[in-house]
Amino acid sequence: MDGSEENIMEDENYTLASKSTFKSYIFFWIGKLFSLLGSSISHFAIIWWLTEASGIPVILSIASFFYILPLKILIPIAGVRAIGRINLE
């Protein structure tokens, strides 16, 4: 740590979080949870519609596979890039 970080950590008036920042943090994550829920419902509805419109049940598995494929490829790459940006010293 450089000198400025040590001074902040030694200051007894320094607080990392307060009630208002904690409320903002919780509000953010609740919003994120509802957003993820909405995205999942949309994904399910579109794939179900494809299955119903085509009349072919295999479309359900193919569409689900192509939805999950980019996630399975990109998440490990993004994780390595994110960890590579952290200074571990």
Count of structural domains, the chain: 1
What pLDDT digit, counting tens, does each position of 18-71 carry?
A: 878 888 889 999 999 999 999 989 989 998 999 899 999 898 899 889 988 988
Which regions of the chain does DSSP assign to beta strands (E)? none
**Using CA atoms, how far apart are residues 57 and 41, in angstroms rounded to an integer?**
19
Q: Domain span at residue 55? A: 3-85
Which residue, chain included where needed, has tokens 């919003």?
31
Calculate mean pLDDT across residues 4-17. 57
pLDDT value of position 45: 93
Residues 39, 52: Cα–Cα separation, whole Å: 20
Task: Please give the Cα distance from 18 to 9 (Å, whole number).
Answer: 16
Tell me the pTM.
0.58
Output the CA angle 42-72-76, nearest 5 degrees.
125
